[in-house]
């Protein structure tokens, strides 16, 4: 088995849940059959969304590279980043570190293409949407991305930053209303393209209309570094 390195802390609860997902997805009968994981949780890494939107000149890239280098020194063969907005820096990180980094967005797009999904509602941070990364990758795979209206997007950002990231209650009725807005536009699937939103799926019984990118990332990490339980394996193109 290969050793997985995790650039964590973006945010901390999403990192903890990512480890839980990896553990439950692993086809292991004993402690010793689980994959080896090295986690460096550094919540002090500058906010990715603020940097991408030009609201801060404090780039998170150097800190993420430094964390990645330490993971390499500790034996990481493959790296995962349980933060979708941080995938904006994927190419630069992979070039600098010289270690494969699993791309949650591309892996999800491959699955959606295989399932012949043509329209997807994107629930993500302003930073992820401003970068165009999710939209571009979906379009490359023949999938039309659908976005929230401006006011609704502001509500979603409030849920993410003022609620989930802050460890405070959030309005589940608001989340469902935002989901319905995208479904009304014709979305066949709803993409949880922010790892804070993955925590909503963890805590509430959401339907199979939602595709959680953190679950995709965890499944691919187990496939590449360990042995995955068949019920968690996503089909590949």
**How far apart are the C-alpha atoms of 210 and 123, rounded to whole Å?**
10
Degrees (nearest 5) of the Cα angle 20, 125, 61?
80
**How far apart are the C-alpha atoms of 115 and 154, rounded to whole Å?**
31
Q: Could you identify the residue written with the tokens 């402690």?
A: 31
Degrees (nearest 5) of the Cα angle 116, 118, 122?
120
Instruction: Using alpha carbons, list the distances in angstroms from residue 166 to 4, 49, 140.
Output: 28, 16, 35
As annotated, the active-site residues are: 83, 194
Given CA atoms 196, 159, 192, 130 in this order, what sign does their dihedral have? negative
Instruction: Using alpha carbons, list the distances in angstroms from residue 10 to 27, 49, 116, 159, 192.
Output: 27, 11, 32, 16, 16
């Amino acid at each position: 088995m290969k050793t997985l390195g995790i650039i964590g802390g973006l945010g901390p609860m999403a990192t903890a849940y990512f480890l839980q997902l990896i553990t439950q997805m692993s086809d292991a009968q004993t402690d010793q059959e689980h994959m080896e994981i090295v986690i460096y949780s550094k919540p002090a890494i500058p906010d990715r969304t603020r940097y991408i939107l030009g609201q801060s000149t404090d780039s998170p890239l150097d800190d993420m590279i430094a964390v990645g280098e330490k993971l390499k020194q500790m034996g990481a063969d493959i790296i995962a980043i349980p933060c979708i907005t941080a995938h904006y820096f994927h190419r630069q990180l992979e070039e600098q570190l010289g270690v494969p980094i699993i791309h949650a967005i591309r892996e999800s797009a491959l699955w959606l293409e295989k399932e012949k999904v043509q329209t997807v509602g994107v629930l993500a941070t302003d930073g992820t949407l401003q970068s165009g990364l999710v939209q571009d990758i979906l379009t490359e795979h023949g999938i039309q991305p659908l976005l929230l209206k401006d006011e609704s997007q502001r509500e979603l950002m409030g849920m993410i930053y003022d609620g989930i990231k802050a460890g405070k209650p959030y309005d589940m009725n608001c989340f469902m209303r935002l989901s319905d807005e995208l479904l009304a536009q014709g979305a066949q699937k709803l993409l949880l393209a922010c790892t804070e939103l993955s925590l909503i799926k963890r805590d509430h019984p959401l339907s199979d209309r939602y595709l959680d990118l953190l679950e995709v990332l965890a499944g691919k990490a187990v496939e590449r570094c360990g042995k995955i339980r068949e019920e968690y394996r996503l089909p590949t193109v």
